[in-house]
Amino acid sequence: MFSQEMYGLGSKRSVIREIFEYGNKRKAEIGAENVFDFSLGNPSVPAPDCVNETLCEMLRTENSVALHGYTSAQGDFNVRKTIAEYINKQYGVHLTAENLYMTVGAAASLSICCRALSLPEDEFITFAPFFTEYRVFVEAAGSKLVVVPANHETFQIDFDSFRSLINEHTKAVIINSPNNPSGVVYSEETIVTLCDILREAEKKYGHVIYLISDEPYREIVYDDIKVPYLMNYYDDTFVCYSYSKSLSLPGERIGYIAVSDKMEDWKSVYAAVCGAGRALGYVCAPSMFQRLAARCVDKTSDINIYKKNRDLLYGGLVQYGYHCVKPEGAFYLFVEAMESDAYAFCEKAKKYELLLVPGDDFGCPGFVRISYCVSTEQIERALPAFEKLAKEYQK
Ligand code: PLP
């Protein structure tokens, strides 16, 4: 016999993957240029030049045994030091290499944090709409995911619901801003209120409540929007970062966990992070990409291309009568479906070769996610299809 829980996870494809596979089949049938696939969050903008240049240089000049060898489990010391110094300079905090743990991307950062913190009966709170894998990571760590319903008007936090869901079992709160799938960036006011509520709850229940900030889209923001750095607002913070989106390297699997030095007994918590990484079998993050991350630490892909896509798509959709909060970051639009069943809406969209993702798994039935990390040309060609889809409902 084997684990039915793991069988369930492995045998059922995510909705996004189902749509992606359908898209591949359809592209083979009618030609890729005729299918408007908005399903995946795979960056469409190439990595900045420094990525390939640094990789070539490292391969040419560095000792191959060291370059491809194991690093220490928490990551190469100099890499962690460089990244810590960069974070300090950007956000005015005081981290050292000892606060950083290199990971294979934000997915690993999150699952390690959940495993490091989780005790029986613990609850982790997150806010709808949320990245669907949170449920997998929290439940795999033996805890329960509690979801605060969405504020459909703004997709900022509904604080009354949040307050009502905190209890003595609350171990941590997971937030994600800029958000997948809404594209919303939590305002400073939202962050301040969130942190005040958490401090009150810590006092009331007499134990630490951790804040896990999932930040793969930190740099992907538009119109000079600022993304508050959570460690400056709340002591018991973990930042789960990834280079998947900022450097367009999702397949290379590189990111980190930063443990705040203001967290009570942070050295022990950091040791628990190292222990969780060990228990989950993450021997170390890829050696060459750790070094690459340190050397391209202040670079990003060309974010302007995503902004151009956002403006084009948002402008078109609003004109055709779709309702949507204007995204300030990430590369997703979260649009109200034109009928209550988002699955049925996505099925109708397929008639026009539009591949969209129903919001149900993100904790938001009645909405659909459109990933605009695609070529601008695809958006231009897809706009008439979006218009025809809207007209079908407006008849
Ligand atoms: N968190 C969010 C909100 C995401 O959208 C993603 C990926 O799309 C991840 C985490 C996982 O990112 P990574 O590729 O770094 O594991």
Distance (Å, whole) CA 342 – CA 349: 10
Q: What is the pLDDT of residue 12?
A: 84
pLDDT averaged over every residue in the chain:
96
Q: Is 346 in the pocket of ligand 1 (CB under 6 A)?
A: no
Give the integer Cα–Cα distance in Å for 306 and 327.
11
Both tokens of 163, joined, read: 């307050």
- Give the structural domain span for 139: 50-295
Give the Å distance between the CA of 87 and the centre of ligand 1: 20
Please, which pLDDT band fits residue 364 given cuts at 50, 70 and 90?
Answer: very high
For the Cβ of 103 lying below 6 angstroms from any atom of ligand 1, the answer is no
Last residue of a domain, one of 235, 265, 295: 295
Looking at residue 15, its pLDDT comes to 86
Check whether residue 356 and residue 318 sit in a common domain: yes
Q: Please report the pLDDT score of residue 321 as a whole number.
A: 97
From the CA of 62, how far away is ligand 1's center (Å)? 31
Looking at the fold, whether 41 and 68 belong to one and the same domain comes out as no
- 223 with 96, same domain: the answer is yes
For residue 194, the domain's CATH number is 3.40.640.10
Closest ligand 1 atom to Cα of 110:
10
Q: Are 306 and 232 found together in one domain?
A: no
Q: Which of 295, 315, 330 is the last residue of a domain?
A: 295
CA 33 to chain centre: 28
pLDDT digits (tens, 9 = 90+) for 90-143: 999 999 999 999 999 999 999 999 999 999 999 999 999 999 999 999 999 999
CA–centroid distance, 181 to ligand 1, in Å, is 11
pLDDT at 20 over 90: no
Rounded-to-5 percentages of helix, strand, coil across the chain: 45, 15, 40
Distance between Cα 394 and ligand 1 center (Å): 36
Do 91 and 234 share a domain, yes or no? Answer: yes
Taking only the tens place, the pLDDT of each residue in 285-310 is 999 999 999 999 999 999 999 999 99
Residues 242, 118 share a domain: yes
Domain match, 371 and 282 both: no
Answer yes or no: is pLDDT of 17 > 90.
Answer: no
Q: Is 365 left (phi over 0), alpha (psi -120 to 50) or beta?
A: beta
* Same domain as 186, residue 127: yes
Q: Is the pLDDT of residue 13 over 90?
A: no
Asked if residue 23 lies in contact with residue 355, where contact means CB atoms within 8 angstroms, the answer is: yes
Distance CA 312, CA 334 (A): 15
Ligand 1 proximity of 244 Cβ (cutoff 6 Å): yes
pTM score, two decimals? 0.96
Q: Which of 295, 330, 358 is the C-terminal boundary of a domain?
A: 295
Nearest atom (ligand 1) to Cα of 108: 16
Interval 85-89 mean pLDDT: 98
Provide the pLDDT for residue 126: 98
Judge if the beta carbon of residue 174 lies within 6 A of ligand 1: no
What per-residue confidence (pLDDT) applies to 16?
Answer: 87
Are residues 145 and 16 located together in one domain of the fold?
A: no
CA of 362 to the centre of ligand 1 (A): 13
Do 179 and 262 share a domain, yes or no?
A: yes
d(CA 216, ligand 1 centre) in Å: 6
User: Do 285 and 329 sit in the same domain of this protein?
Assistant: no
> What does the pLDDT average to over 143-161?
96
Q: Is 225 found in the same domain as 349?
A: no
| Torsion (CA) 364, 368, 371, 375 in degrees, nearest 10 | -170
CATH number, domain with residue 333: 3.90.1150.10
Q: Is 178 in the pocket of ligand 1 (CB under 6 A)?
A: no
How many angstroms is it from 106 CA to the middle of ligand 1?
A: 5
Mutate to test the pocket of ligand 1, among 217, 242, 252 (most ligand atoms within 8 A of CB): 242
Q: If pLDDT is split at 50, 70 and 90, which confidence band does 25 have? A: very high
Number of domains in the chain: 2
Give the whole-angstrom CA distance, residue 243 versus residue 300.
Answer: 9
Structure tokens given for 6: 């793991």
Q: Compute and round to an integer the Cα radius of gyration of the chain.
A: 21
- Pocket of ligand 1, candidates 244, 247, 357, 373: which has the most ligand atoms within 8 Å of its Cβ, to mutate? 244
